[in-house]
Amino acid sequence: MASKTKPEPLSPVVSPDEVREIANRFGTPVYVYSQRILEQQADSALAFPNAYGLTVRYAMKANPNMNIARLFRKRGILLDVSSGFEAERARMKAEIPYEDMLMTSQEIPENLFGLVEFGLDYNACSQHQLENFGIFFPGKEVSVRINPGAGSGGTNRTNTGGESASFGIWHEQLDDVFRLARKYELNVKRVHTHIGSGSDPAVWQRVAGMSLDIVARFLEQGHDVRTLNLGGGYKVARMSYEKATDLQECGKPVKEAFKEFARDKGVKLGLEIEPGTFLVANAGCIIAKVIDLKRTAKYKFLITDTGMPEVTRPSLYGAQHPIAVVHRSPSDGEREPERVIVSGHCCESGDILTPAPGDSEKLKPRWVEGMSRGDFVVIGGTGAYCAGMSTINYNSYPQSPEVLITGRGIELIRKRQTLEQMTRNELVI
Ligand code: LLP
């Protein structure tokens, strides 16, 4: 096991030469994704153990750049969309048909009617959502998201099940669902649970059993449930000392539980999963530049030209991302590691890339290879919930470009924002 006191290795997305080339061609900070790793992850997700068929949906909120969704779709991965805007974005930019999307949202989109008419699958996440769907589409098939009463996330902020989470219909209120379904003659064809991001596999497996019990209740009420969607949330190891969820191990007992369910209830349920993090997190990194070095009586600070605008996760969750140094010139020899606080460039003391694990209020110095101004830092594990979840334009820093390393080379998939674009909608009166 790698030591917590030694520098983390360079992200597998890039080689040191590619870091220098990408920084020269596109400037810093810049997001970089690897098609090779995205495809490897897609293939692992598609091999998830299942008894009677598997559908994998990509939770596009993890990284909404449409080149990524397109690449997954070529491999047969459908979409989980979390708003009407995501659905339209995927349709417009990636030409993904609405029939390939399941919408699970806290909000009813204004264009719901049109989206469903064009084939979008709808997952009602509250009694209000279900009633609204029933009014528009009486007699239709629908999915329901249930909060099964238990959850698990990498941090409390990414736990989406249990009594402190507002996602889905509370499991003790199924009678409301049955009543509304009767009122509008809806058939519940899919039950959905998603208990959190970075969830403990043991809890996920237990909830799979609880979700099967919920499906059984729907069958008793005469609903023709054919699919159980168990959400995403599979843990990845961003730091070398972290342990990722092994999808094969995690899915095996659930496959057996589906078989037992079929023996007991006579219904062979299809399995759906909708990972985001698993598919993209370690397929991405950020290349940034060291712009300053400062000391206080206690710490050495390394200031970079990235931070919250590209990667909010450390300041939000105390998330740990590997940080490796690539020297500006290939001829620079290796240097002794030093213990530093890596900081972003925003005027915000919370703009820290090395918080204490799980506690964004505290600092935790990190061992990194010695460096000077102008060297590059590569922040790994930033393919998920970074470009799509940034504090965009804070301090008026422009939105960063994204590049994809494909079989053809290094390709720009989003340009750097200009100041004109940043202020386009502002009206000076
Ligand atoms: N399905 C639903 C309904 C979801 O809400 C989510 C994530 C997923 C699937 C995918 O979960 P994943 O496999 O990516 O864990 N910003 C946090 C994660 C929030 C996830 C929100 N929902 C982070 O940076 O870790």
Bigger pLDDT: 164 or 60?
A: 60
Contact 237, 34 (CB under 8 A): no
Compute the distance from residue 91 Cα to the ligand 1 centre, in Å.
21
DSSP state of 159: B
Measure 71 CA to ligand 1 centroid, in angstroms. 20
Mean pLDDT of the chain: 96
Q: How does residue 82 score in pLDDT terms, banded at 50, 70 and 90?
A: very high
Residue 424 inside a domain? The answer is no
User: Stretch 44-69: mean pLDDT, rounded?
Assistant: 98
Same structural domain, 256 and 317: no
Q: Whose CA is nearest to atom 16 of ligand 1?
A: 385
Q: Which amino acid is at 217?
A: R
- In CATH, what number is assigned to the domain containing residue 143? 3.20.20.10
CB of 272 closer than 6 angstroms to any ligand 1 atom: no
Are 242 and 120 in a shared domain?
A: yes
Indicate whether 141 belongs to any domain: yes
Mutate to test the pocket of ligand 1, among 277, 278, 317 (most ligand atoms within 8 A of CB): 277
243: three-class secondary structure by DSSP: coil
> What is the tally of structural domains in the chain?
2
Atom of ligand 1 nearest to the CA of 233: 15
pLDDT in tens, 322-374: 999 999 998 888 889 999 999 999 999 999 999 999 999 999 999 999 999 99
Ligand 1 contact, 46 CB (< 6 A): no
* Same domain assignment for residues 173 and 132: yes
Ligand 1 centroid to residue 329 C-alpha, Å: 38
The arithmetic mean of pLDDT across residues 86-109, rounded, is: 96
Ligand 1 atom 5, closest CA? 194
104 in contact with ligand 1, CB cutoff 6 A: yes
What is the tens place of the pLDDT at every residue in 212-267? 999 999 999 999 999 999 999 999 999 999 999 999 999 999 999 999 999 999 99
- 196 CA distance to ligand 1 middle (Å): 7
End of a domain among 226, 247, 280?
280
Q: Is 181 found in the same domain as 101?
A: yes
Query: Does 178 reside within a domain?
Result: yes
The residue nearest atom 9 of ligand 1, judged by CA position, is: 232
Ligand 1 contact via 315 beta carbon (within 6 Å): no
End-of-domain residue from the set 237, 256, 280: 280
Q: Which domain-ending residue is among 241, 264, 280? A: 280
**Alpha-carbon torsion (273, 279, 281, 282), positive or negative:** positive
201: tokens are 């596999």
CA of 59 to the centre of ligand 1 (A): 7
Asked if 212 and 97 sit in the same domain, the reply is yes
Q: What angle do CA 363, 368, 371 make, to 5 degrees?
A: 115
Q: Determine, yes or no, domain membership for 422.
A: no
Is there a single domain that holds both residue 253 and residue 292? no
Give me the amino acid identity at 265: K
The reply to whether 111 falls in a domain is: yes
Residue 21 or residue 166, greater confidence: 21
Global pTM reads 0.97
Question: What CA–CA distance (Å, rounded) separates 329 from 331?
Answer: 5
* 58 CA distance to ligand 1 middle (Å): 10
Residue 113's CB is within 10 A of a number of other CB atoms, namely 11
Residue range 129-140, pLDDT digits in tens: 999 999 999 999
Same domain for 118 and 93? yes
Q: Residue 8 falls within a domain, yes or no?
A: no
Query: Does ligand 1 lie within 6 Å of residue 385's CB atom?
Result: yes
pLDDT mean over 294-316: 97
Residues 260 and 194 in one domain: yes
pLDDT at 4: 55
Residue of 105, 197, 207, 278 with the most ligand 1 atoms within 8 Å of its CB, for mutation: 197
> What is the reported pLDDT for 3?
53
Ligand 1 atom with minimal separation from the 154 CA:
25
C-alpha–C-alpha distance, residues 300 and 340, integer Å: 5
- What is the CA 313 to chain-centroid distance, rounded? 11
Contact between residue 239 and residue 320 where contact means Cβ atoms under 8 Å apart: yes
My answer on whether 171 and 99 are in the same domain is yes
pLDDT exceeds 50 at position 2: no
Q: Can you give the three-state secondary structure of 248-305, one letter per residue?
A: HHHHHHHHHHHHHHHHHHCCCCEEEECCCHHHHHHHEEEEEEEEEEEECCCCEEEEEC
Which CATH number do you get for residue 27? 2.40.37.10
Residue 4 lies in a domain: no
The 3-state DSSP class for residue 105 equals: coil
Whether 409 and 358 share a structural domain: yes
Whether 318 and 246 share a structural domain: no
Q: Judging by beta carbons within 10 Å of its beta carbon (0-12, 13-18, 19+), is residue 330 exposed, middle or buried?
A: exposed
Q: Is residue 212 part of a domain?
A: yes
CA of 276 to the centre of ligand 1 (A): 6
Tell me: do 83 and 141 sit in the same domain.
yes
Parent domain of 56: 35-280
